[in-house]
Each structure stands twice: as C-alpha cells, then as structure tokens.
C-alpha cells in the first residue's frame, strides 16, 4: 500500500494506488479551470528544479494554485547554490517553509537519498535518466480517457529509450495492467535498459510498426544533454502525414514534449495526435497527487468523471 509520503518511482504504486490517483484526477478535472477549490488553502508546495522544465514545473505550480494553495519556486541559477550550497542543504532549507515538495534533479536516484533526510512528502519530478512517475500517471490518465482502458494495448515507443525517463516510468506503470504489449524503435545505442526489457517487450524497426496496428505510438526526443556526444543525427523517427496515413484510425500519437523533430507540426490537426491533451491532463493529475499526499481525500468534491 502506498503510504502517500513520497512518490519517487512507479514501483511504489500498486494497480489500486494508480486507480485511486486516476479516479481522483477524474473527480478534480471538472474543477480544474474554475479556481474555486480550497482543498490546499494555507499549504505551500516547494517546487524545486535543479534541471530545466516547462510543463512539469508550471503544471505543478498551476495545480497547487487551482487547489487554493501557494507555491515557492526554486530554480538554479539565481540561488545560494551559486555560493556553493549543496542540493541537500537547499532542500532542508526549503523544507522549513513548505508542506510538500516536488524535486527535479539531473542525478539518477538522488531523490531516494533526499527523501531519507527530509520529513515532508516528496515527489519525483524527474531524476536524471531514471524515472518521471508523475509523467507516467498523466500519460495513463490520457490513455484511459482516449482508449477507455489501460489493458490489452499495443504500445510502440520511439526515440531514446535508454535515457528517456518518461518511457521507463510509463512501461513500469502499464505493466501493472494485464495484456499490454510493448514495442521499441530506437537506435541500437539507445535501446531500453536491460532491466526494463521482458517477455512483453520486442525491438522492432520503424516500418514494422504498421503491421502491429498499435493503439498508442509514444514518441520521444533524443536526450542529447545526457550524453557525452551524439553523432546519430541520421536517426529520425519522424511522424508525419505519410506515417499517420498508415496507422489505424483508432491509434493515438503521444509525446511527453518537448518535441524536436519527432512529430511534424503538419500532423497537429489530426485528432489522433494528442500531446497537448497530455499537457492539459498533467495539471489535473498533479492536482490529484497533491490533494492525496496532503491528506485531503475525504474533502474531495462529489462530482465523478467528466467524460
């Protein structure tokens, strides 16, 4: 059972825990734009980003505001970290001012270490190339809304499956539901880490994707910032109108964003292409996490799913 004191990896969540988070998201979604919720009134989120972010940072901020709470932001540069203060000391300071913390760090597994010292609830907003559990939860919410189920799906992942933390967390999360099959399309040097491969996972070529008739194509960018050098510009798994024509009408194209050249903007108007829905649901799912981890489950509004 998830103790709701930390969310560092999808491994902490059972299928039931995930269902609770998604149900809570469904309850909060109709309220997400009205600015009327006061569930977290008087509470403060410390939103700490030791690595660049747009969606995760802003959606955590918006989520806390939509719940009636407040946010203190920490971003480097611009702090005493430039004077040599350690990340852990910085977090221990911010802990004195806040009730819950979201942390993004370029170092893999660092959040586990921080959580051992800090007493407040802590959420992993991305730790290096390891995991990005809140992205996986918003991806699952998107899949559920779009496909009506999180079971028996064929999901194709393209791009950087080695360093792409969103892929790692999403595969772990989808494995909690029966019948899902995974297909990876990547340069050989950027294959999925061995410990995440399994009997339900197959490496394929881009052209093989059409025969699979996937439910979801989840495209990702090459994480150049996590490599010493990258000379693989020849690899392009661009999804454009030609590719889209060969995919089923029931398929959905997802991407955690930012996109570089994986999704040609010419496909943006196709209803199967849904990265900006993921963005929208990201705030809703983060609202649910904040509300649950701050102990407001009993005060949720009474409305159910909005679809």
Tell me which residues are annotated as active site. 55-56, 83, 104, 132
Using CB under 6 A as the binding criterion, the count of chain residues that bind ligand NCD stands at: 11
- 24 sits near ligand NCD (criterion: CB under 6 A): no
Give the max Cα distance, the chain: 56
Nearest to ligand NCD by Cβ — which residue?
256
CB closer to ligand NCD, 31 vs 104: 104
CB closer to ligand NCD, 69 vs 126: 126
Output the smallest distance, CB 162 to ligand NCD, in A: 13
- 9 sits near ligand NCD (criterion: CB under 6 A): no
Output the smallest distance, CB 271 to ligand NCD, in A: 21
- 66 sits near ligand NCD (criterion: CB under 6 A): no
- 221 sits near ligand NCD (criterion: CB under 6 A): yes
Output the smallest distance, CB 301 to ligand NCD, in A: 27
CB closer to ligand NCD, 110 vs 220: 220
- 286 sits near ligand NCD (criterion: CB under 6 A): no
Output the smallest distance, CB 56 to ligand NCD, in A: 4
CB closer to ligand NCD, 47 vs 220: 220
Q: What is the contact surface with ligand NCD in residues (CB under 6 A)?
A: 55-56, 126, 132, 135, 165-166, 220-221, 256-257
């Amino acid at each position: 059972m998830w103790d709701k004191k930390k969310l560092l990896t999808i491994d902490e969540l059972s299928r039931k825990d995930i269902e609770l988070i998604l149900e809570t998201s469904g309850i909060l979604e109709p309220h997400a734009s009205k600015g009327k919720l006061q569930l977290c009134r008087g509470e403060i989120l410390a939103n700490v980003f030791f690595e660049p972010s747009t969606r995760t940072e802003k959606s955590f901020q918006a989520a806390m505001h939509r719940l009636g709470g407040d946010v203190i932001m920490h971003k480097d540069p611009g702090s005493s970290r430039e004077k040599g203060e350690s990340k852990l000391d910085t977090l221990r300071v911010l802990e004195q001012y806040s009730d819950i913390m979201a942390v993004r760090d370029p170092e893999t597994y660092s959040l586990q270490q921080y959580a051992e010292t800090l007493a407040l609830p802590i959420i992993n907003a991305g730790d290096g190339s390891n995991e990005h559990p809140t992205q996986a939860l918003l991806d699952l919410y998107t899949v559920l809304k779009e496909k009506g189920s999180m079971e028996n799906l064929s999901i194709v992942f393209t791009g950087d499956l080695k360093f792409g933390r969103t892929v790692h967390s999403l595969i772990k999360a989808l494995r909690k539901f029966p019948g899902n099959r995974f297909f990876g399309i990547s340069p050989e040097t950027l294959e999925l880490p061995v410990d995440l491969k399994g009997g339900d996972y197959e490496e394929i070529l881009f052209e093989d994707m059409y025969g699979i008739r996937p439910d979801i194509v989840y495209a990702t960018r090459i994480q150049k910032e996590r490599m010493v050098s990258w000379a693989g510009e020849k690899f392009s798994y661009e999804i454009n109108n030609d590719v889209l024509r060969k995919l089923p009408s029931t398929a959905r194209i997802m991407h955690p964003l930012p996109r570089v050249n994986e999704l040609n903007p010419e496909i943006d108007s196709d209803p199967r292409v849904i990265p900006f829905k993921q963005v929208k649901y990201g705030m809703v799912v983060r609202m649910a996490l904040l509300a649950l981890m701050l102990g407001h489950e009993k005060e949720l509004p009474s409305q159910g799913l909005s679809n």
